[in-house]
């Protein structure tokens, strides 16, 4: 399952069911950050990263292309 969050300010979080998820954080002009996380019932998790300037991967660019305007907000 795929999805995107384009106006996430980090204060409210995402509520998702237990399971294993792959997260990609991507912005034009930066290398994408990817990680996989397995969550158990009632578990919380925080993802912190700093994106490095560089070329955006083709996969991450495709995510942005499918959501026009997401990176401009």
- What's residue 11's pLDDT? 61
Place of tokens 């994106």: 51
pLDDT tens digits along 6-37: 565 656 677 889 999 998 888 778 888 889 99
For residues 54 and 26, the answer to whether their CB atoms sit within 8 Å is no
CA distances from 21 to 27, 28, 47, 61 (A): 20, 23, 12, 19
């Amino acid at each position: 399952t795929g999805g995107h969050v384009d106006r996430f300010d980090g204060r409210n979080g995402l509520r998702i069911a237990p399971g294993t998820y792959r997260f990609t954080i991507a912005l034009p002009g930066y290398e994408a950050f990817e990680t996989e996380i397995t969550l158990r019932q009632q578990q919380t998790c925080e993802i912190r990263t700093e994106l490095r300037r560089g070329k955006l991967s083709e996969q991450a660019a495709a995510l942005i292309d499918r959501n026009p305007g997401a990176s401009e907000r």
